[in-house]
Amino acid sequence: MTDNTKELIINLGPQHPATHGVLRLILEVEGEIIKKCIPHIGYLHRGVEKLSEDLTYVQVLPLTDRLDYLSSMINNVGFCLAIEKLMGINVPERAKFIRTMMAEMARICSHLLWIATHALDIGAMTVFLYAMRDREKLLEMFEMVTGARLTVSYPRIGGVRCDINDKFLEELEKFIEEFPSKVEEYETLIDRNRVWLKRTKGVGVITAEEAINWGLTGPTLRGSGVYYDVRKFFPYDAYDKVEFEVPVGKNGDVYDRYKCRMLEFRQSAKIIKQCIEKLPTGPILAEEAPRIRMPSSPLKINKEDIQFEIYLMEKNIEDFIKKFTEVYASVEAPRGELGFYIVCDESAKPYRMRVRAPSFVHAGALSRLCEGSLIADVIANIGSIDIVLGECDR
């Protein structure tokens, strides 16, 4: 009988509903066991990095919404942090707290969609409905303050766009009060469910060392038992002024990554609660923040500066290099470490922008996670690393 077996190549995606967007996987299978898994990406490539070279820093900000569209607030914060570092802008205290609060709201929002789709992929329909119910409330609150539900464009270089009001704070407080009980509801449904355990425990195991070598970050890394969180190690905004814990898993399988995110729900709720209590009064935009019509001080567009070729011919290369500054700032996005690396010249536009997207790294690690497992486990793995293809392909 063994003579009749042969390798079969299966194409999973890009239209498959469980691949969370437009991820395409080429699976080389032998029977039911996967020998090789090759992820193909790029179906959602819009060239955000290249596009940003032609726009001023203020104009790039709405583009970062479209990277990880499930937590656009955190993307914006990451970009703003990089530019603030570059220009040396001190963000007012109130703006910092508002940003932290909204970023944690976005994290809950993103994790809720993750638990909804992940559970739906594995076969638990009810969790999807319950998680969407609670996400709707958060989106409504986003709409109240920012004017949009998903692509918020709320932070601004040097602060935030508009102030929050008491009505919003009241509603948020109400939501946060009852949110932990909602998380318990999801856990009642799937935490100890035997089908859930069979599908997740011992699936997609990755050791701590391997996870670090693959460059995994966020809950995917913490599920393997590595204590790393940008919020704790390189605190930005108001994260050094609030108390929270970083949940860490043990076995590094799908179940532990799920558990990590479920614990993060509670920590996020805790952070928001502290932010509401400690919210100071004062301005929400730094005085030196650039006006919406860039260019403004301290970086001004100079027509001669834009023409680099001419500059190179006239002056020597060392002067040319001195003109450039580079900056890297990272934030803890719901998926992992999201970094913005910007090389800038003296103009108001970035010379080069590079986005370190966690989804891109995680999609690469998918080949390692899926090797040797069953076809059904591929879906569980894709769900557990929680990739967004908008961020992956950029």
Contacting residues toward another protein, per CB under 8 A: 55, 58-63, 65-66, 126, 133, 136, 140, 143-144, 147-148, 151, 153, 160-163, 165, 185, 188-194, 283-285, 287, 291-293
Cβ distance 33 to 129 under 8 Å? no
CB of 324 to another protein, least distance (A): 24
Cα→Cα distances 308→49, 62, 206, 296, 303, Å: 19, 27, 47, 21, 10
Q: Which residues, 6+ apart, have CB-to-CB distance to 150 below 8 Å?
A: 65, 69, 70, 72, 139, 142
Cis-peptide, bond into residue 295, ω within 30° of zero: yes
Closer to another protein at the Cβ: 163 or 210? 163
Closer to another protein at the Cβ: 94 or 335? 94
Closer to another protein at the Cβ: 29 or 144? 144
Beta strands in the chain (DSSP E): 8-12, 24-30, 33-40, 155-156, 159-160, 325-333, 336-344, 350-356
Closer to another protein at the Cβ: 133 or 315? 133
Closer to another protein at the Cβ: 48 or 176? 48
CB of 128 to another protein, least distance (A): 13
Tokens of 323: 């003109």
CB of 365 to another protein, least distance (A): 31
CA distance 385 to 56: 33
Closer to another protein at the Cβ: 7 or 177? 177
CB of 272 to another protein, least distance (A): 20
CB of 353 to another protein, least distance (A): 14
Cis-peptide, bond into residue 39, ω within 30° of zero: no
Closer to another protein at the Cβ: 200 or 373? 200
The 3-state secondary structure of 90-154 reads CCCHHHHHHHHHHHHHHHHHHHHHHHHHHHHHHCCHHHHHHHHHHHHHHHHHHHHHHCCCCCCCC
Cβ distance 283 to 295 under 8 Å? no
CB of 250 to another protein, least distance (A): 19
Beta bridge partners of 332: 337
Residue 288's identity, in one-letter code, is E
According to DSSP, the β-strands at 325-333 and 159-160 are unpaired
CB of 203 to another protein, least distance (A): 19
